[in-house]
Chains A and B, each alone.
Chain A
Amino acid sequence: MKFIASTTTRLLFPVMLAASLAACQTTSSPLVDGDSGVSYGDAKAVETVTTDLGSTDIQMTSEKMTQSLLQHPLVREIIRKRQLVVASPVQNKTSEYFDTALISDTILVQLQKNGIRYVVAGDEMQNQVDELRRQNQSGLYNQAKTAKIGNMQGAKYRIDGSVSSIKKRNANVKDVYYKINLRLIEIESGIVEWSDEKEIRKTARR
């Protein structure tokens, strides 16, 4: 009898837990639903709306490049020695209005999650300079506690690259071939320590 009771309890507990969680679900954020037809989708879903570079291309490229970089012995050395990396702008050599920072930013985030330290560049660099000037030159801050000018660290390696494309079309088919190339360069010597590329072919039929 005791056995039956304990078995029942063991079986009932998950069921009750699931039921209570389901109840929680019904009290989640209310939905404001108009007639706009707007809905949320999976950010990782494969997107094939047009042949232009899209979210899936960025995700595929970033994933491949990050994995390739992390497998390189030099990158493991960079992580171990806590050396610094900076990302130069990825050149857009296509005729598409595509912001290549989408690729480099995603790769930097993935690299940092794996232990690589990087320094700011581009617009972030301007914000960094502005903030240092504000702290040191505006007269508003306690100078004993401000971040001092002249202590920023330069990177030992930089990542750069390019996106190129070849487009072809006839009456029935539009074909676009993209090649995304990335390199890791030692800044002092200019030696390319690592490079890899991702090829993407997208075809649309009329």
Chain B
Amino acid sequence: MVALRSLRLSPVLVALAATILLAGCAGNPLRSYDKEMQGTLQRLNSGEVDAALSNLESNNASIFSSSSDAPKDQDGEPTEQTQLDSVLGKDILYYFEKGELLKLKNDYAGSRDAWLVADEIVRVWEDEYRTNPTKVIGEVGAYLVSDRVRRYDGQDYEKVFLSTKLALDHILLGRFDLARIEMKKTFEREKLIESFRDREYDKIKEEGDKQGVATTAEELGDQGYPLDELDGPEVRALKNGFQNAFAHYLSGYFFELTGEYSLAAPGYRNALALQPKSKLIQAKVNRVGQQKPGRNEADVLFVVESGFAPEWKSITVAAPVPINRKLVATPISFPIVYSSAEVAVPRTLTVGKKTLPVETLVDVDAMARRLLKDQLPGIITRTVVRAVIKSTVQYQARKRGGVIGEVVAGIATIATEQADERAWRTLPAKLSVARAILPRGEVPISFDTGNGIWHGTITVNDRMTIVPIRVLGGQVYLGSPGSADIEEIREATGAAEPAERPAPARKKKPVKPANAKPQQES
């Protein structure tokens, strides 16, 4: 007790202790996001979306025990607080996952609304970087606490995916004006991330030089860090860890059908730059607008998502840390993304009498590993700098607070020194597409899920039709095809028209829940 009283906590210790007090909220350093999400993912694999949603909600339940304690708006109604409102508010991951789950329920409006909240959080980060890049870049090397306690703004590829998925939701909801804006935003976001990473790299190098940190990824590899996981051919084939070939292909598809060929062409060209072997994209580059659906046909895009995005794990290795001018091998945690088990992607879709090849445009698994590979030098610098500072803190605590002070500092160090495992887990591991001009009306569809042949029916309404499909093990979620008459799109976007006049607008048939009558053959 005497020792506790005599303990004079330094600001650093206070900061470390505060992180522990955040237990139960998004920034809780003891939170294992991967473990937390296991229940949700298992339920999705069993086709129980509602149960998965309930699980997500219970994991993110407010710390306020009753509605009377909850924050209220001006009218006295309980409000949902996000991480922008309070440190106790719901974080971006909750909105990422919720949007995905609602989309699997074909609740596109709910999904869009959840993702719009997530997008607002990303936009705050973007605005911070635009208005004060020096401050945002400066924070790169200024954290005393673990990466897992930092505000999570989403991984780079998640930020781009969010915008792409929002564009898809807008199309599925028939809001083509908003989809158009979202697509342009996606590419601005890509450029912003590119600029941020360039400047961050310089800052990290400067910070490392200043602190005398010269630990390299190779040295980490020598100490047991599985560098091979980050160096597969699929990882090396990527330009970076955030650009999304599907986002560009979707733009090509959308702008081609709206007749805006000067915007469609760069869409296909950028997609090809990211996926140079794709025959589907090659067939479109320099041939924009050459293949148009007839009066009673539609240009149908099948978006096939398979599996879950990889988990980020924490691995502890003995890294060389400069302490008292000597390099001391110190156990430190770093994140690692292991390549996940093979995800079943249907090789073809049988739609009506046609067999369509399915091509994978986005491998999130490889993107995550590429992102980690690119960010590893920065993570090493930050982590090692932190280790140096924490060793100083422990020394000071022992000096001022005796044994108890050292124990308190030690607990804080252990609690905060786990690598960041947070990631949008319900994202697909792979996103693939198939495309064909099909007659309007009900069309049977079947494909191999890896666990047997799945049969269903889609309704092709008008000239632009997008069919979302999610394959999770043997479970198939077939979305309601989003379709629209080109005139609606042109009206909404003010876009140019294709040379051929589209067929007159038809009243849309109510779409049956597409996975209502699936038949599985083994």
Contact = CB atoms under 8 A, between A and B. Distances in A.
Interface of A: 50, 89-101, 122-123, 125-126, 129, 206
B270 interface: yes
A95 B273 contact: yes
A90 B198 contact: no
B260 interface: yes
Contacts of A94: 266, 269
Contacts of A206: 198-199, 202
Interface stretch (B328-336, B419-427, B495-503): B495-503
Contacts of B265: 91-93
A92 B262 CA distance: 5
Contacts of B490: 123, 126
A159 B249 CA distance: 29
Nearest to B270: A95
B494 interface: yes
Interface in B158-183: 183
A122 B496 contact: yes
B225 interface: no
B262 A99 contact: yes
Contacts of B259: 122-123
A206 B133 CA distance: 13
B261 A89 contact: yes
Nearest to A123: B496
B262 A123 contact: no
Interface in B294-315: none
A126 B497 CA distance: 7
Contacts of A129: 501
17 contacts: A50-B191, A89-B261, A91-B261, A91-B262, A92-B262, A94-B269, A97-B184, A97-B187, A98-B263, A98-B266, A101-B496, A122-B259, A123-B495, A125-B497, A126-B490, A129-B501, A206-B198
Given A90-B262, A95-B266, A123-B490, 19 more contacts: A50-B191, A89-B262, A92-B261, A92-B263, A92-B265, A92-B266, A94-B266, A97-B251, A97-B263, A97-B266, A99-B263, A101-B262, A101-B496, A123-B496, A123-B497, A125-B497, A126-B501, A129-B501, A206-B198
B45 to A, nearest CB: 38
Contacts, number: 54
The 6 residue pairs across chains A and B that have the minimum distance between CB atoms: A92-B262, A100-B262, A126-B497, A123-B496, A122-B496, A95-B266
A52 to B, nearest CB: 8
Nearest to B495: A123
A94 to B, nearest CB: 6
SS of B interface (majority): helix
Nearest to B188: A97
A129 B499 CA distance: 12
Which among A98, A126, A129, A206 has the greatest number of chain B C-beta atoms within 10 A? A126
A123 B259 CA distance: 9
Contacts of B260: 99
Which among A90, A92, A93, A101 has the greatest number of chain B C-beta atoms within 10 A? A92
B485 to A, nearest CB: 13
B267 interface: yes
A96 B190 CA distance: 12
A147 B259 CA distance: 27
A184 B350 CA distance: 48
A92 B187 CA distance: 16
Interface string B487-514: 0001000111100010000000000000
Contacts of B251: 97
Contacts of A91: 261-262, 265
Nearest to B202: A206
Contacts of A95: 266, 269-270, 273
Contacts of B262: 89-92, 98-101
Interface string B193-207: 000001100100000
Contacts of B496: 89, 101, 122-123
Given A97-B187, A99-B260, A123 B494 contact: yes
Nearest to A122: B496
B504 to A, nearest CB: 11
A101 B494 CA distance: 12
B497 to A, nearest CB: 4
Nearest to B251: A97
Which among A97, A99, A129 has the greatest number of chain B C-beta atoms within 10 A? A97
Contact of B497 (A97, A100, A101, A122): A122
Which among A98, A100, A123, A129 has the greatest number of chain B C-beta atoms within 10 A? A123
A169 B163 CA distance: 27
Contacts of A50: 191
A50 B194 CA distance: 13
Interface in B50-109: none
Contacts of B497: 122-123, 125-126
A33 to B, nearest CB: 19
Contacts of B273: 95
B502 to A, nearest CB: 9
Contacts of A90: 262
Contacts of B266: 92, 94-98
A98 B267 CA distance: 11
Contacts of B501: 126, 129
Nearest to B286: A93
Contacts of A123: 259, 490, 494-497
Interface string B353-365: 0000000000000
